[in-house]
Amino acid sequence: MKKLLNRYSMFYILVLACICCSSCSVKKEHDLINDQNYKVEQEKEQVIPQEDLSDKNIQDNSENTSDIKTKIEEDDLPAENYGNKNNLSKDFLQNFYDFTEQTFAHIIRDNEGKNQIYAPFNFYLSLSMLNELSEGEAREEIQKALNISDAKNNASELNTALSSLQERRLFPIGRLNINTSLWLSDEINYKDNLLNMLQSQYNTEIFKGDLKDREFQNLMTKWVYENTNFEFQPDYQSDYHKSFDQLDQHTFISLSTLDFYDEWLNPFNEEDTKPDTFFISDNEKITCDFMNMEAWSHPFMVGEDYISTIFILKGGAEYMLFILPKEVLSVDELVEEKGKLAEIIYNWTDGQVSDGKISVGKVKLSIPKFAYEDEIDLRKTAEKMGIRKIFDINSKAFSLFADEDTYITDIRQVSKIEINEKGCSASSYTEIAAVGAVASKDEAEVILNRPFIYILYKDKIPFLAGVVRNPIG
């Protein structure tokens, strides 16, 4: 089966090699931390959307920027980790597939009837960083939820995964960027060895300043804005952020971003896009635009209670997996079945044949165009996975990291996605706020005209998953 899939991929690669590639704009990259200091460069330009800030530039003010720097030993500078080409271990991948399935199931359960979009890799990465900063029972809970026993080995695997996800293989059409940053209060002492480790092992940018200061908050907004390809500008003066417990006692805010864009290797013809019926439920249906195609030598998998297929993107290693449950089964019921989603992901990413389910043949594709945005409360998800001590004010979960009693108040993720005839784009940011108290057929039809699941993955690593219940809602 691997040979068939490889042959399929090579077929499209050869076809694509005959096509002239047009240049596309790539998002401006954020300045990295240089030399032995964590620092914020002098800001020349303001990008904040709020009306009362529209005319205000971040000035070169020593009171606001000089304290953002914090010393790092030269030996602790980031290594060239992104050159690591080692393969990910099967144990890491299986753990991550299980994590993706479990967290996705919790999210769907908490948001019944809604479209969902979720970035599992960013959540896993954020929890792994919290694991490095915590101790005692809090650390045990995180390690149990992630099913890891060796934090150093997990960091190494994550570094390999990040390298693989962000490497461009063929044509420089698209992008997949994942970035992390940690924003610290200048009123609190932190353990330098842990800050050094986060920068070198997790490629995390570190900023230090007054978390109550509007200009420092503007820098956080600007960082998210630039690292999501100018899609999100969180307002740290909003009622949501002001509602954080003990806002004036923040000890750190962790941010993780995802920015993805790529074009289909075999794009849809716009002339074939037609309106058709999407069945939201037995009693509700809508009309929306469907992209249509008949593809030859196309892989698909038929299971007992689902059919699935993949669509290849030009990057050379990115795929979009579509999973359609049988009519008698809802997406919620499929995801709730323990091991089901993880097995589907594993079979596709590893090219495994299970009872002859994966086939290659003629596939009729009909996919609704969709675009939507979603926000998830990941604190609920973490708690349901047994992670509770980091939210306990009395747990002293982060005494290893900071000299104040610190606990997490909020974990949230905001994401958006759009697919059309040309390709797929998606962006997401994950925010953690901490305060201190002080196939068996030769042909198939994949008609996605009822709620379905999609998963974007690259090099066996799912980085985005979602449910479409209403393409225009």
Return left, alpha or beta for 147; rule: phi > 0 is left, psi -120 to 50 is alpha, else beta. Answer: left
Predicted local distance difference test score (pLDDT) of residue 19: 37
Q: pLDDT tens across 308-318, in order? A: 999 999 887 89
Q: Which fold has domain 2-14+264-371+441-468?
A: Alpha-1-antitrypsin; domain 1 (2.30.39)
Parallel, antiparallel, or unpaired for β 370-377 and 175-185? unpaired
Predicted local distance difference test score (pLDDT) of residue 143: 97
Domain chopping of the chain, boundaries: 2-14+264-371+441-468, 89-261+372-436
Mean pLDDT, residues 211-237: 94
Chain-centre distance for alpha carbon 250: 25
Cβ neighbours of 296 (radius 10 Å):
10
Q: pLDDT tens across 94-145, in order? A: 999 999 999 999 999 988 789 999 999 999 999 999 999 999 999 999 999 9
Does the pLDDT value for residue 251 go beyond 80?
Answer: yes
Q: Which residues pair with 205 in a beta bridge?
A: 181
Cβ neighbours of 224 (radius 10 Å):
24
Q: Indicate the average pLDDT of the chain.
A: 81
Closest by CA position to 409, among listed 246, 266, 188, 294: 246
Q: pLDDT tens across 39-56, in order? A: 333 333 333 343 343 333
Q: pLDDT tens across 285-295, in order? A: 999 999 999 99
Closest by CA position to 468, among listed 104, 118, 101, 116: 116
In which band, very low, low, confident or very high, does the pLDDT at 443 lie, cut at 50, 70 and 90? confident
Q: pLDDT tens across 155-202, in order? A: 999 999 999 998 876 666 789 999 999 999 998 999 999 999 999 999
Predicted local distance difference test score (pLDDT) of residue 284: 94
Least confident of 78-82, 264-268, 335-339: 78-82
Contacts 24+ apart (CB under 8 A), 96-100: 96/120, 96/121, 96/124, 96/461, 96/462, 97/341, 97/342, 97/345, 97/346, 97/462, 98/147, 98/342, 99/124, 99/145, 99/146, 99/147, 100/341, 100/342, 100/345, 100/462, 100/465
Does the pLDDT value for residue 387 go beyond 60?
Answer: yes
Does the pLDDT value for residue 372 go beyond 60?
Answer: yes
Does the pLDDT value for residue 239 go beyond 50?
Answer: yes
Q: Model-level pTM? A: 0.82
d(CA 81, CA 472): 42
Q: How far is CA 210 from CA 43, 197, 259, 338, 410, in A?
A: 16, 23, 28, 45, 19
Q: Which CATH class is domain 89-261+372-436?
A: alpha beta
Predicted local distance difference test score (pLDDT) of residue 348: 92
Residue 296 contacts residue 362 (beta carbons within 8 Å): yes
Residue 336 contacts residue 457 (beta carbons within 8 Å): no
Q: pLDDT tens across 393-419, in order? A: 889 999 999 877 899 999 999 999 999
Does the pLDDT value for residue 70 go beyond 50?
Answer: no
Of all residues in the chain, the percent with pLDDT exceeding 90 is 64
